Amino acid sequence: MPRVIGGPRAKDFGRPVTDAARGPMALGACEDGAAILEFVLVLPILLALLGGAFELGRILLIDAALEDGVHGGARYLARVADPYCRPVCSADAAYAITIARERILENTQLAAARLRVYPVPDTDLGVIAMRAEADVSVDLLGWVGLAPSVHLTATHRESRIVE
């Protein structure tokens, strides 16, 4: 004999209601797996949001390191007699680029191939500028099918001081 589930309808009509006869109402009565199912459905979304927040913070830290490195390199470049690299950098300009590059790589742990630092040509008279560009890959979101690459640029302008 099928298992009898008591309820208001069974008492009203005087007949037992079986699991099969309840149909869609059986889902409402059994909530044992509902919390697990909801957790399984929401967990990937929560992990993607958490990973995205982590990667956003990492990108913001790399951007701040780019700005800091370019600032240091531009301050040194402002004192160089020939700050431009046409067609080859002077020794002092190359040293300013090295200062900025090493400062950025030390603070970001980026691959050296993904970083480009150079003095900006054709700026206003009395002003020099240095720019750094980096391609940052968002690795943590690869398991979700998202693997974007972000191109970051930082430029710093400094008044020229020739000694």
Within a domain: 137: yes
For residues 10 and 8, what is the distance between their CA atoms, to the nearest angstrom?
6
Residue 8 included in any domain:
no
> Does residue 29 lie in a domain region?
no
Answer yes or no: is 13 within a domain. Answer: no
AA identity, residue 74: A
Count of CB atoms within 10 A of residue 24's CB?
6
Examine residue 53 and state whether it is found in any structural domain, yes or no.
Answer: yes
How many independent structural domains does the chain possess? 1
Which has the minimum average pLDDT: 27-41, 88-102, 120-134? 27-41
How would you class 26 by CB atoms within 10 Å of its CB: exposed for 0-12, middle for 13-18, buried for 19 or more? middle
Half-sphere exposure of 87 (CA within 13 A, CB side): 0
Does some domain include residue 108?
Answer: yes
- pLDDT of 24 reads 55
Please, which residues have CB within 8 angstroms of residue 119's CB and are 6 or more apart in sequence? 77, 83, 84, 85, 89, 93, 96, 97, 128, 129, 130, 131
Query: What residues make up the domain containing 145?
Result: 35-159
Counting every residue written for the chain, the total comes to 163
Task: With H, G, I as helix, E, B as strand and everything else as coil, classify residue 21.
Answer: helix
pLDDT of residue 30: 61
Asked if residue 52 belongs to a domain, the reply is yes
pLDDT at 124: 76
Supply the mean pLDDT for the chain: 82
Helices (H), the chain: 8-13, 19-22, 25-29, 34-77, 91-108
Task: Determine how many CB atoms are found less than 10 A away from the CB of residue 62.
Answer: 21
Query: What average pLDDT does this structure show over 47-62?
Result: 90
Residue indicated by tokens 């007949």? 15
Q: Looking at the domain assignment, is residue 97 inside a domain?
A: yes
Q: Which one has a higher pLDDT value, 25 or 131?
A: 131
